[in-house]
Amino acid sequence: MGENKKKKCIVHFEPSGLTTDVPAGTVLLEAAHKVGIYLSSICGGDGYCGKCKVIIDEGQFQSRPTTLLTPNEINENVVLACQTKILSNMTVTVPKSHALQAGQILMDTDAQRFRELTGEAGAGVFKFDPLVRKLCVEMSAPTVHDHTADHERLYVAIREQIDAPIMQTGFRILQGLSRLLCEANYKVAVTIGRRGGTTEVIEVEPGNRCKTNFAVAVDLGTTTVVAHLIDLANATTVDTEATYNSQIKFGEDYIRRIIYAEENNAFEEMQSHIVHDVNDLIVTLAARKRIDLQDITAVVCAGNTAMVHFLLNLDPTRIRREPYIASVGFMPPIRAAESGIQINKRGLLYCLPSVAAYVGSDIVAGVLATRLYTKKNLSLFVDIGTNGEVVLGNRDWLVCASSSAGPAFEGSGVKHGMRAGAGAIEKLTVCPDASIEFKTIGDTRPAGICGSGLLDTLAELFTKSIIDRTGRFKTDGDFRLTEGEEGQQFQLVPAGDGYQEIVITQTDINNLIRSKAGVFAAIRVLMASTQTKPEDLDAIYLAGGFGNFLNTKQAITIGMLPDVPLEKIRFVGNTSIAGAKTVLLSRKALETAEKIAKSMTYFDLMSHPGYMDEFIRANFLPHTDLSLFPTVKLATEKI
């Protein structure tokens, strides 16, 4: 074994032509990363996402058995790179189809579609004034008559360009400053970061590298982690990527993960997982755009309170215990490296502020991105993720609550549920002839169903009378209704060439109904507490990583949102990342986020007397009280 490990194997990748040598026994995924080839590994190399398929053209290898390869694929030497050890020199082909282009397209479309909401530069909502930026600083060299020290000379020159009354510079920079200024003839690129009222000199480089400066906005979801790479020189989103949160193996919701961490003293392990996910996204984005990690100087995160605590290894244990307290709500910027995030070694990590243990910075980001806090009339903001958070208010007041809805609409807890990535069914109709029409993200082979597809499915099954108002399958013999391992299930897509059968089970439906019921109950509590009637609502913003074609009508049909005129409902996509990006691009936006977080009044639903009753009533399609859903009543009566 010792001998074998010492043997070096040359691995040649096609079509890139890149080559590396690694010790025999090295996992193929690692060899690919080593040579700079990005293979998607959203499961973190654990062998269950099936994303890292490659073809071994030549050479010996050893693969663990997997159910994610078809017999055909196995015959063609297709392997999961993360489950395959290299035993000899080899040639490997990386299929184009396994890159995440489809997923990218979705994210980019997202970025375009919601631009007017997010206040990106040019939109005029917030002034372009990023948290971290590069300045081209030119100074006159010192003379006997101008003997200002180098450090103060630099400050004077910086202050000619920006407002920076309080400045700080890292000690290591100061130690090398004099030599650097001399060698660069007093012309340097200075990276500055804003930390509260303080402006920090993060990096000083010789010459003019002022245009090369990137940052990453991250949405830290319980189920999904999304990252956008931003070019700070022109405030554009150059690329996006998403992955599953690899903490998922410790529990689907964060409460279970906190319990796991407590019972196993695994806080560092939890941190290491989420940090790994974020790093994986950043490395992927950087590699794809051929950007040096040193040129990424900031990361801005939004996420629920627990995820932010896990990321920073702050104590999350009191989030789950009365009186439900966060360690930190307004996290000060720190060096990204302090948390393990690998960007520029002095780059900064910002986290948006949160409201409470159960209303995190992702929700503050949503309020910021939808600009709900600026409007005269009342709006409702609903973010469906692993939890369902609701905000109601206007420019005068904001109330919020969180229902532990469960991650059904993120595809978790649903047999064929998946993230809104390539191959996900994002739109689905049951036709009058009982055939099913659907559309997948990227128009590829169907791989599963994402949030918007699940919403469609639930609504279609209900309106086409395949399930009753309690969500149970009607047993009048639809040919698609079969008995699966988990009881009754409805076939949405039969197995085809290169893809499996896709079904929805009774359990799936129950989970989806419970999830929407939690959200609607939360909405009802907030509206009742503030004496808001549905007609008082000027707008409903529905956020979440659903997919592109969210049918807002269906959200009323299943009783997730109040029955308001459809034009009042806007699907706004992932507002957590939109808000994070807005903050990244404008200091003023961060200040605004802080004001929003401070001004939001939190309702604790667990201790709220009316919540449980509302939840039980909402566990029907659309609701026990049909008078709350007149348009749905009318439509179902028509059938």
Binding site for its own copies (CB under 8 A): 142-152, 165-169, 171, 174-179, 182, 195-198, 312-315, 317-318, 322-332, 334, 338-339, 354, 356-357, 602, 604, 607
* Whether the Cβ atoms of residue 408 and residue 453 lie closer than 8 Å to each other: no
- 């099936």: which residue's tokens? 50
Which residue, 248 or 359, has its beta carbon nearer to its own copies?
A: 359
Which residue, 338 or 486, has its beta carbon nearer to its own copies?
A: 338
Provide the minimum distance between the beta carbon of 194 and its own copies in the complex, in angstroms, as a whole number: 12
Which residue, 123 or 167, has its beta carbon nearer to its own copies?
A: 167
Q: How far apart are CA 351 and CA 331, in angstroms?
A: 6
Provide the minimum distance between the beta carbon of 196 and its own copies in the complex, in angstroms, as a whole number: 5
Which residue, 3 or 322, has its beta carbon nearer to its own copies?
A: 322
> 287 to each of 32, 105, 111, 241, 281, how far by Cα in Å?
12, 18, 21, 12, 10
Provide the minimum distance between the beta carbon of 14 and its own copies in the complex, in angstroms, as a whole number: 45
**Phi/psi-derived region of residue 431, left when phi > 0, alpha when psi is between -120 and 50, beta in every other case:** beta
What backbone torsions phi and psi does residue 349 show, to the nearest 5 degrees? -115, 120
Provide the minimum distance between the beta carbon of 67 and its own copies in the complex, in angstroms, as a whole number: 41
Strands (E), 284-371: 296-303, 334-335, 348-351
Provide the minimum distance between the beta carbon of 339 and its own copies in the complex, in angstroms, as a whole number: 8
Which residue, 61 or 602, has its beta carbon nearer to its own copies?
A: 602
Which residue, 335 or 415, has its beta carbon nearer to its own copies?
A: 335
Provide the minimum distance between the beta carbon of 298 and its own copies in the complex, in angstroms, as a whole number: 16
Q: How far apart are CA 94 and CA 53, in angstroms?
A: 8
Provide the minimum distance between the beta carbon of 170 and its own copies in the complex, in angstroms, as a whole number: 9
Helices 361-370 and 587-599: angle between axes, nearest 10 degrees = 110
Provide the minimum distance between the beta carbon of 156 and its own copies in the complex, in angstroms, as a whole number: 11
Which residue, 172 or 211, has its beta carbon nearer to its own copies?
A: 172
Pairing verdict, β 214-220 and 296-303:
parallel
> 365 to each of 28, 357, 560, 621, how far by Cα in Å?
39, 16, 22, 31
Which residue, 255 or 334, has its beta carbon nearer to its own copies?
A: 334
Instruction: Tell me which DSSP letter residue 474 carries.
Output: P
What pairs with residue 79 in β-bridges? 54
What backbone torsions phi and psi does residue 594 show, to the nearest 5 degrees? -65, -40
Provide the minimum distance between the beta carbon of 608 and its own copies in the complex, in angstroms, as a whole number: 10
Which residue, 102 or 167, has its beta carbon nearer to its own copies?
A: 167
Torsion angle of alpha carbons 538, 543, 549, 555, nearest 10°?
A: -60
What backbone torsions phi and psi does residue 388 show, to the nearest 5 degrees? -120, 110
